[in-house]
Chains A and B, each alone.
Chain A
Amino acid sequence: MPQNRTLCMTQADNPLLQLLGIHKHFGGLLALTDVTLSIRQGEIYGLIGPNGAGKTTLFNILTGLYQLDGGTFNFNGNTYSRCKPHVLAEAGIARTFQNIRLFPNMTAQENVMVGRHLRTQNGIWAALRRHPAARREEKESAQRASELLQFVGIHRSPQTLAKNLSYGEQRRLEIARALATDPLLLALDEPAAGMNATETADLKRLLHTIRNQGITVLLIEHDVKLIMDLCDRIAVLNYGRKIAEGMPEEVRSNPEVIAAYLGGNPA
């Protein structure tokens, strides 16, 4: 569990993630305006909207790459403001990137082991002395990495450099690396982008399994069918504002959503 040792967090209460009136602007451009949403423990929550709607900006705020300009960001009982990415990772938010960002010249196994970094302790002394406890920790990291590779189905090539994996494998390796941080919330930025039908079906199964392990999933995706099938609830962003939120059926029939994103005639 995250500890309360950083000054940038204070106590607050449930649900798992709660955003209240989030604002973010880049110069004169309003990227996010008054966005409020809350994600419950254990659900798969979808975030959709046209390109440029602010979905990835929201992700970057959640993972500390951007700082919010207004509003409140509560996660797992703490309020975060101006926290560094590694603090949020430690708090239990892990992510993948829209344009895959692996460590290309590290092996698949090592990529996942980097994800274990914040749940392990070994420092310089441990590295130099390699005492039993240090070896045990190292071995556990390696073992956990192998399990996760197995879990996402890349176990056949743990020693392959990440850059030499196929596109679909790279996407899955990113998920394994994120899972290695023991997240409470897994935020996936377009995980199915560029995947064929079979790969998408695999991904769907994978995400179900992840949710069944008790990990909450936040998903940005343009594959509407996937989103509608997978998500418990969906929020729709357009021009930095939330225009709808609710169960997939509700969102699908919302005229504003149809006009802004889904297209076609309101049913």
Chain B
Amino acid sequence: MHKLLRNRKLHLGGTTLALLVLPFVTDLLFGRGWVRIEDFALLYIMLALGLNIVVGFAGLLDLGYVAFFAVGAYTYALLASPQLGLHLPFWIILPAGALLAGFFGALLGAPTLKLRGDYLAIVTLGFGEIIRIFLNNLNAPVNITNGAQGISQVDAMRIGDFSLGRNQELFGFAIPSVHLHYYLFLLFTLLVIFVTARLQDSRIGRAWVAIREDEVAAEAMGINTRNIKLLAFVMGASFGGISGGLFAGFQGFVSPESFSLMESIMILCMVVLGGMGNIAGVVLGGIILVVLPEVFRNGAGPLQQWLFGKVFIDPESMRMLMFGVALIVVMLWRPAGLWPSTRRQRELEATGDAAEQDTVYDSGR
């Protein structure tokens, strides 16, 4: 037991250190562009974890999830840019974006409560498109979203004079802006993981899974399926809203084309490819689907040049080709995802107080 505990601490320490130095190492080895990719990976992990609550836990197939990302991003962009002349601080806007996204989650959830499977997928798909098209067209008669041109000059996130939009000097170290964003996103990602992990192993989490497994039986056992499903939609949506706000502050620019159906599908792929319902799997799915395409984008050209002395296939098309092949292979060989959810093999709490400690919970397994 003691040895186990020490190991756990060692693991935790090692992981923390690795996560902290990651942007610097990446910067040194591969260049700053890759730190930016890591930032995006973190944003997508948050999105994937949010969608995982809806799809992975509660089993409600949502094909319009990117709408909540858009709501969060536009909330941020509208409240902190010259577009409406507002410049609110980000620690007000982010929660506001999460709340608004949550509200939209309920708005989507309420009319679709009786729909299942394919039918729900079609309605959510429509919802995602409606939001995007609204954003695209809300420039007339009153210009709110600036239409297809999007909103630019969005304020960077800042606390007092400390802006994440500029490179900063800390303890004599120069820390670039992308690195600063990395740390902020990492913090939020860990928060989202914590919330998801705790919910998963709770009365609410069990109710979600019960609905996924058999909605009629769940109802008959006394679960108020309406409330519990709405809760899943709202929770999932609010994660999307947070991620969207962070995205807007990081990019400094938002436009409707970032929120296409393809994005929803990518996020869904992260959940499914990684392992639906398993937090670690979903995180892995997010990393793979952000990083691998970039590897192809940057690597496929030079590799062909080196192998054949000529670029045969355009790296951009190569990227989508490989992505498609990878999806098919994974779904054929590991239909439950790369890192599927093995139900917790928790010991019966026969040993009494020993079971009180938090360590019985292990999201990694």
Query: Which A residues are closer than 8 A to B by beta carbons?
Result: 63-65, 84-86, 89-90, 94-95, 97, 101-107, 109-110, 113-118, 120, 122-124, 126-128, 130, 135, 137-139, 141-143, 146, 158-159, 161, 177-178, 181
Q: Quick check: B343 and A117 within 8 Å, CB to CB? A: no
Q: Quick check: B223 and A106 within 8 Å, CB to CB? A: no
Q: Quick check: B206 and A65 within 8 Å, CB to CB? A: no
CB-contact partner of B204 in A97, A101, A115, A122, under 8 A:
A122
Q: Which residues from chain B contact A161 at a C-beta distance below 8 Å?
A: 343
Query: Which residue of chain B lies nearest to A146 when distances are taken between CB atoms in the complex?
Result: B348
CB-contact partner of B210 in A63, A94, A103, under 8 A:
A103
How far does the alpha carbon of A101 sit from the alpha carbon of B343 in the complex, in Å?
19
Q: Which residues from chain A contact B118 at a C-beta distance below 8 Å?
A: none
Q: Quick check: B219 and A103 within 8 Å, CB to CB? A: no
Q: Quick check: A158 and B216 within 8 Å, CB to CB? A: no
CB distance from B196 to the nearest CB of A (A): 10
Knowing A105-B213, A106-B210, A158-B348 touch, does A114 contact B204 (C-beta < 8 A)?
Answer: no
What's the dominant secondary structure at chain B's contact region?
helix
Q: Does B307 make an interface contact (CB < 8 A)?
A: no
Query: Which residue of chain A lies nearest to B346 when distances are taken between CB atoms in the complex?
Result: A159
Q: Which residues from chain A contact B115 at a C-beta distance below 8 Å?
A: none
Q: Quick check: A130 and B348 within 8 Å, CB to CB? A: no
Query: Which residue of chain B lies nearest to A127 when distances are taken between CB atoms in the complex?
Result: B202
CB distance from B342 to the nearest CB of A (A): 10
CB distance from B283 to the nearest CB of A (A): 19
Knowing A97-B217, A101-B214, A105-B343 touch, does A122 contact B222 (C-beta < 8 A)?
Answer: no
Q: Does B145 make an interface contact (CB < 8 A)?
A: no
How far does the alpha carbon of A181 sit from the alpha carbon of B217 in the complex, in Å?
13
Q: Which residues from chain B contact A120 at a C-beta distance below 8 Å?
A: 203
How far does the alpha carbon of A123 sit from the alpha carbon of B204 in the complex, in Å?
7
Knowing A101-B216, A128-B195, A135-B356 touch, does A110 contact B206 (C-beta < 8 A)?
Answer: yes
How far does the alpha carbon of A109 sit from the alpha carbon of B355 in the complex, in Å?
16
Q: Does B154 make an interface contact (CB < 8 A)?
A: no
CB-contact partner of A104 in B213, B222, B344, under 8 A:
B213
Query: Which residue of chain A lies nearest to B277 when distances are taken between CB atoms in the complex?
Result: A105
Within 8 A of A (CB), among B331-348: 343-348
CB distance from B349 to the nearest CB of A (A): 6
How far does the alpha carbon of A95 sit from the alpha carbon of B231 in the complex, in Å?
26
A sample of 7 cross-chain residue pairs with beta-carbon separation below 8 angstroms, ordered by A number, consists of A89-B221, A102-B214, A104-B213, A107-B344, A124-B235, A141-B203, A181-B222
Query: Which residue of chain A lies nearest to B341 when distances are taken between CB atoms in the complex?
Result: A105
Knowing A102-B214, A124-B199 touch, does A84 contact B219 (C-beta < 8 A)?
Answer: yes
Q: Quick check: A124 and B204 within 8 Å, CB to CB? A: yes
Query: Which B residues are closer than 8 A to A by beta carbons?
Result: 195, 198-199, 202-207, 209-210, 213-214, 216-225, 231, 235, 343-350, 355-356, 358
Q: Quick check: A139 and B349 within 8 Å, CB to CB? A: yes
Q: Quick check: B221 and A114 within 8 Å, CB to CB? A: yes
Which 3 residue pairs are nearest across A and B when measured between Cβ atoms?
A118-B222, A89-B222, A127-B202
Q: Quick check: A106 and B222 within 8 Å, CB to CB? A: no
Pick from B204, B210, B344, B356 the residue with the most CB of A within 10 Å.
Answer: B210
Knowing A106-B209, A141-B203 touch, does A117 contact B221 (C-beta < 8 A)?
Answer: yes
Q: Which residues from chain A contact B344 at a C-beta distance below 8 Å?
A: 107
Q: Quick check: A122 and B203 within 8 Å, CB to CB? A: yes
Q: Quick check: A124 and B214 within 8 Å, CB to CB? A: no
Pick from B198, B222, B348, B355 the residue with the most CB of A within 10 Å.
Answer: B222
Q: Which residues from chain A contact B358 at a C-beta distance below 8 Å?
A: 130
Pick from A86, A90, A104, A120 the residue with the most CB of B within 10 Å.
Answer: A86
Knowing A117-B222, A124-B199, A143-B349 touch, does A101 contact B206 (C-beta < 8 A)?
Answer: no
CB distance from A170 to the nearest CB of B (A): 12
CB-contact partner of A102 in B217, B343, B349, under 8 A:
B217
Pick from B195, B223, B350 the residue with the most CB of A within 10 Å.
Answer: B223
Knowing A84-B219, A86-B225, A114-B206 touch, does A124 contact B355 (C-beta < 8 A)?
Answer: no
CB distance from A164 to the nearest CB of B (A): 11
Query: Which residue of chain A lies nearest to B200 when distances are taken between CB atoms in the complex?
Result: A127
Q: Which residues from chain A contact B222 at a C-beta distance below 8 Å?
A: 85-86, 89-90, 115, 117-118, 181
Q: Quick check: B202 and A117 within 8 Å, CB to CB? A: no
Query: Which residue of chain B lies nearest to A91 when distances are taken between CB atoms in the complex?
Result: B222
Q: Which residues from chain A contact B218 at a C-beta distance below 8 Å?
A: 103, 114
Q: Which residues from chain A contact B217 at a C-beta distance below 8 Å?
A: 97, 101-103
Q: Quick check: A86 and B213 within 8 Å, CB to CB? A: no
Q: A84-B219, A109-B348, A117-B221 are in contact. List 16 more A-B contacts (CB 8 A).
A: A65-B216, A90-B222, A94-B221, A97-B220, A101-B217, A103-B217, A105-B213, A106-B210, A107-B344, A114-B207, A115-B221, A120-B203, A128-B199, A130-B358, A139-B356, A146-B348
Query: Which residue of chain A lies nearest to B218 when distances are taken between CB atoms in the complex?
Result: A114
CB distance from A99 to the nearest CB of B (A): 11
How far does the alpha carbon of A98 sit from the alpha carbon of B247 in the complex, in Å?
51
Q: Which residues from chain B contact A127 at a C-beta distance below 8 Å?
A: 198-199, 202-205
CB distance from A14 to the nearest CB of B (A): 24
Q: Which residues from chain B contact A85 at a C-beta distance below 8 Å?
A: 219-220, 222
Knowing A139-B349, A139-B355 touch, does A86 contact B219 (C-beta < 8 A)?
Answer: yes
How far does the alpha carbon of A139 sit from the alpha carbon of B203 in the complex, in Å?
11
Q: Quick check: A117 and B207 within 8 Å, CB to CB? A: yes
Q: Which residues from chain A contact B205 at a C-beta distance below 8 Å?
A: 127
Pick from B199, B225, B348, B355 the residue with the most CB of A within 10 Å.
Answer: B348
CB distance from B19 to the nearest CB of A (A): 22
Q: Which residues from chain A contact B231 at a C-beta distance below 8 Å?
A: 124
